[in-house]
Amino acid sequence: MAPIPLNGKNVLYRILNSLGKLWGSGNNLSFSYIRPNRLAYILPLSIILTLCDQRNTYMTPTEVFLGSDKSTIAFAAYAVGTIFVLFFIMKHLIGGIKSLAAIAAISFAVWIALPDSDIRNAVMLVFQFAIGGSAIYATYAHVFVLNNSERMFSVLFATFNYGFSVFAQQNGINNVFLAVIYPGALVLVLLVCACMFKAVAFPDTSPEKSIEPPKGIYIVLLCPLAFFLLDVFGEAIVNRGPGDASLRGTGAMLAVLIAVIVHFGLRRGVWFLLSFFLILATVGFMLLAFPVSARLSSVGNFLFGIGDGFGNILVFYIVGLLKKYRNDKFFWRITLATVCSMLFAIVVLDVTVRLAENYLGIVAVALAVTCLFLFQALSPKMQRSVFGSDWIDDFVRPDMSYIIMEKFDTMTMLEPGAAGADDAEGAADADAGRFKGLKLSPREEEVAMLLLSGLSLRQISAEIGIAESTAYGYSGTLYKKLGINSRAELFARFGVRAVAVVGEAMGGGNSGDGVNGVNGGDDGSDENFRGEAL
């Protein structure tokens, strides 16, 4: 079949069709899933993103330092800090984040005490470097410790702070509170959270536990590339335009409100944010690049602010897809690519300002239109590789794995009634004793965990990359070794209660879990249950 030409009518059809499909995607987010005992892991990334976004409240972006404006140099120092941690000290998770959070706190205090000078500016770069490095560890916690609802809450909090800081700064509220007290308090909270990081909270991501992701998943890297390019260019043309720049912050805060309603209220998926981000950014750029009046320029600021807020939420939320694979190498690749996207955007903006500052708006519009058309041209491939892939289910089905993990983290997997089963000291190393004495193979342990998380055998086969018949085989040997005949008995064995959920949320279907003659009641209805810790 010949490809459909990309004329205006077909592009509009693709955009509307894409929005319709993305709106149809669902999620299972709920504020009730946010665990207070995980605040130390929820807050760091939000704080770090807030400190990075609010850098213009504690420095004057128009002032020049090291040949460029302070804001751009600070952003570069932040990015260099992330790369340094990725390449050299990423494995030292607990000690690394504690050390960098301490350096950030000390350098911020020194910066406050010093008079305005090059030394003071250099100290600020040390601070930005430290929070940039801390961002890697915070992202690791964001990916591997938090559930979907906690991740969404984290990025919503960061995006709201970003919008508020822009609004406050542009309205002349850049006083001691915003420039010193508020960022200083955030740094102290970051230090406290870092001191509360515990290795036991992080899952085993060793090679034998990792799952290789599908190659098509790397197409999602286009999302952060597009976001950072449009974000830095948008900020530049907003600050140079005649309109009310504070409306960009208002738009970002409104984006957070819309996201809360859509994701937590209507339970819609996050993917529609991608198209809305590109559309609103493009329209906003056009109004900003060709300002007919200050009023229209202000409208452009507002539309870009909403789109930019959507993009910020989307990019940092979808990073959570890494959780499924427990793959350190995959985390390293995706995170490095994201950081390089930030650096690339900064370099492109800096070169454009140096060589063609008068054409900055035109370049921004060209980038926005290119990204919009590129994503629409790639929509069939995006549909196959992203929206149609198995890993997208992680954003749809109930995120119950964290409940199962918490249950396992507070008990040892000894035979019921055995000595030490209720011993708090014996539960200290839950990972080592989780299936102690049950003689299960590593793959059988993994299948047991996924069964307890509420997945069907069909979903498990896709999850760990094995044939469905092989998943049936592992389930059969697992049941035999445990001396049980149904998933309900499996739940009961490990202190988990089976509760009914909507079949559609689990992906639908009635595949059945009867395996190798070990039926025991595991029929199609089994797929309509999930595990919940007692």
Distance CA 512, CA 468 (A): 12
Retrieve residue 222's tokens: 């286009």
Q: What is the DSSP string of 316-339?
A: HHHGGGGGGGT-HHHHHHHHHHHH
Contact by Cβ (8 Å): 119, 107: no
pLDDT at 506: 32
Mean pLDDT by 10 residues, the chain (534 residues): 48 67 72 87 92 68 63 81 90 92 95 85 90 93 88 91 83 74 92 93 79 77 88 85 86 93 84 81 88 84 92 85 79 88 87 87 90 76 61 59 48 38 39 60 80 76 74 82 76 56 35 38 39 40
The span from the CA of 229 to the CA of 242, in Å, is 22
CB–CB of 205/326 below 8 Å? Answer: yes
What are the DSSP calls for 173-221, one per residue?
A: --SHIIIIIHHHHHHHHHHHHHHT--GGGS----TTT--PPPGGGGGGG
How many CB atoms are closer than 10 A to CB 365? 21
Structure tokens at 165: 């800081």
CA distances from 166 to 18, 55, 78 (A): 31, 10, 19
Residue type, 412: T
**Contact of 270 with 322, CB cutoff 8 Å:** no
Distances (CA, A) of 315 to 292, 320, 507, 523: 32, 10, 24, 39
For residues 123 and 33, the answer to whether their CB atoms sit within 8 Å is no
pLDDT at 483: 78
Strand partners, 531: 498
State the greatest distance between any 2 C-alpha atoms of the chain, in Å, as a whole number: 79
Output helix, strand, coil percentages for the chain, rounded to the nearest 5.
70, 5, 25
Q: Which amino acid is at 199?
A: A
Q: Give the pLDDT confidence score for residue 41 in this predicted structure.
A: 94
Q: What is the pLDDT of residue 342?
A: 84
Torsion angles phi and psi, residue 355, rounded to 5: -95, -30
Q: Of 296, 270, 273, nearest to 284 (Cα)?
A: 296
| Helix or strand holding residue 531 (H, E) | strand 529-533
**Burial, 64: exposed, middle or buried (Cβ in 10 Å; 0-12, 13-18, 19+)?**
exposed
Residue among 420, 409, 424 nearest 494 (CA): 409
Angle at 23 between CA 22 and CA 25, to 5 degrees: 70
pLDDT in the model for residue 14:
67
pTM above 0.85, yes or no: no
The two structure tokens encoding residue 127: 């601070």
Q: Measured between alpha carbons, how far is 500 from 417 in angstroms, rounded to an integer?
A: 28
Residue type, 23: W
* pLDDT score, position 401: 52
Q: Report the distance separating Cα 15 and Cα 88, nearest Å.
A: 43
